Structure 1
Amino acid sequence: MSEEKKNITRRDFLKTSGVAAGALIGGGLIGGLVGYNVNNNANVPGKVMPSEHATMVPQAMQFFQNSRDFQVLSNATERIFPKDDLGPGAIDLGVPYFIDHQLAGQYGSNSREYMHGPFAVGAPTQGYQSRLTRADIFKQGIIKLEEEAQKRFNSGFSSLEGKQMDEILTAFQKDEVKMAGTTSAFFFRLLRTATLEGAYSDPMYNGNKNMDGWRMKGFPGHQMAYINVIESEKFQKIEPMPLGEMR
């Protein structure tokens, strides 16, 4: 593999991660920045505290029961989708709250999915294979992230430097961490997919704060029509529109 292909930047990632941001909301996207197969932004600070957000839904934890677990989640998502000169990262986009609220609902309970046996470790292309719900997997995964931080660096996950967090997340991606009823690689895929969905979802779901995720991709959101610009040969930069403001 050439050095050019190895050094994937966040700008390249945002350009190529899906034809349209809306595609992420339906089925999710297998992609991300943190991982042993891409070049990470090593200059992003390691310890990040969740910031205050003002969106359509109250910003309060609904699933996680303590601030430590929520902070671990926040820092993990920030390493996957870090803030840089291109735009905000996962925390400023409200991704941790997006994931928290999704886990508190039907996404977390798998209530609309077939959850009976037999259960087997399937290929990554075979979809959901665990007897555990997403809520159970995230609970265990967050605990394992903290345990792995203590084991490797004798410190909590949220107190680590960015490269140390990346080392742990990469170990999960490579399935090097033992988990019960699922695999660490599967947890990492869930976490990465949920992070990206939170960055590009409609703001009514608590992610994509101020539609900045859409702005980074030049996605116009939910426009009523394009009749006034459809025949133009020039690229149209359109201010994005959320579902809550459609009339």
Structure 2
Amino acid sequence: MTPAEEKRFIDGIRALNDGDQDSALTALEEARDLPDAAWMAGMIRLRREEFNRARAHFEHALARLGDLGTLFAKYEIAAQASLPITSDIFAHVFPRERGTRLALLEIAQIEGRHSDAMAHIERLMEIDATDPVVLLSFAELVLDTPDDRALMDRVVRATVHVENETPVDTAILLYRGRALAALGMPDAAIDVLTLANRRRKDRPEGLLHQIRYDRAILYEQSGQRARARSELERIFAADPEFEDVSKILEV
């Protein structure tokens, strides 16, 4: 006999597969004591920007980490969700500790709970500090406090082996460049941003514009005004509304 909660979990997954999100959420929340049901309900609530309810579901799933994923495995369900890591980069996550903490990290950042966000990212770094998505999340979070030289140093050290192979790598290099600039190393920062700008295939346009913008500001600060203006003009030609480019160019 299948337990009632497990039946509701199955009902929720079927409804979600059929595109009926409301029915899926109802069923999954009726089975929310099951960590897999809570995890999936949390993802639905997160997409609806109902952050308190989403957080409660993810925290419950995390508290029963040993059981998380067992029902998905039992019924051979390939569960995954997409989470924004930055405004341009998304990551696929699964019902495991990594995916759950990344979701809780996103909620904490949205709600301005910096210490909670740091607790989640520190745990993720403990699990695997070489995971590109985790590394990007770490760098993006700590660059909120560029005056913290110890954190900037950690970013530089953690990203020293990153090469520009994937869009995630490109985003990491943007933050590596910013960390170097925050440490008072503009020339090194320019070199990193130049490396980040070399690969453009499959890279989000907004990310490439941001790299060139940051490099232009560093050129200006280091007295290379012609190079700075050239960069800004190229950004303006592609996207006149980007940042304050039109104001700087006095267009």
TM-score by length of 2: 0.23
Structure number with greater Rg is 2
Instruction: Considering Cα pairs closer than 8 Å and 6+ residues apart, tell me whether 1 or 2 has the greater RCO.
Output: 1
TM-score by length of 1: 0.23
